[in-house]
Amino acid sequence: MSCIQCEQISKYKCPVCRQPYCSVPCYKTHKQTPCTPPDPPTPANESDDKEIEYDYPTEDTVPVEKLKLLELSTELKKCLENPHVREILEVLDKSPHPDEMMKEYMQEPIFTEFVDACLKVVQPQEDTDK
């Protein structure tokens, strides 16, 4: 990207309008005129009202309604406060073979705690004491 003032290669962006600049003098020149934050990106697909449909559902596919309940789980939120859990999830998300890595991570107690919290929401155990 090139500087909005002098066309040199920019290293920085204005914290308000996100326009590129290369140096303090160019930034000061830019700030002489008021700038405004960029418009937020508009979603390409406003499908919040539509129900998500799976391309290839199986008997193990979790219904969307149950997946939305994950947002409400305080136990799950507590698990996600742990940076190690978030790091594991990022690695799994980027992995070409997450199923293989999942077996490895299931040996880590912090990850199994996360998985158990998810399962409690999407697959609650029935009371067998009745």
Q: pLDDT per residue over 55-64, tens digit each? A: 888 888 888 8
Please work out, in degrees rounded to the nearest 5, the angle formed at the alpha carbon of residue 114 by the alpha carbons of 126 and 77: 95
Give, as one character, the DSSP assignment of residue 52.
P
Q: Cα separations (Å) of 126 from 123, 129, 130?
A: 9, 9, 10
Residue spans per domain, the chain: 1-37, 64-122
Query: Can you give the pLDDT at residue 130?
Result: 46
pLDDT (tens digit, 9 = 90+) per residue, 31-65?
Answer: 898 888 877 766 555 545 456 777 888 888 888 88
**Secondary structure of residue 82 in the 3-state scheme:** coil
For the cut 90, the answer to whether the pLDDT of residue 91 exceeds it is yes
- Specify the residue for token string 């405004």: 36
For the cut 50, the answer to whether the pLDDT of residue 128 exceeds it is no
Give, as one character, the DSSP assignment of residue 47.
-
For the cut 80, the answer to whether the pLDDT of residue 126 exceeds it is no
Tally the C-alpha atoms within 13 A of residue 42's C-alpha that lie toward its C-beta. Answer: 2
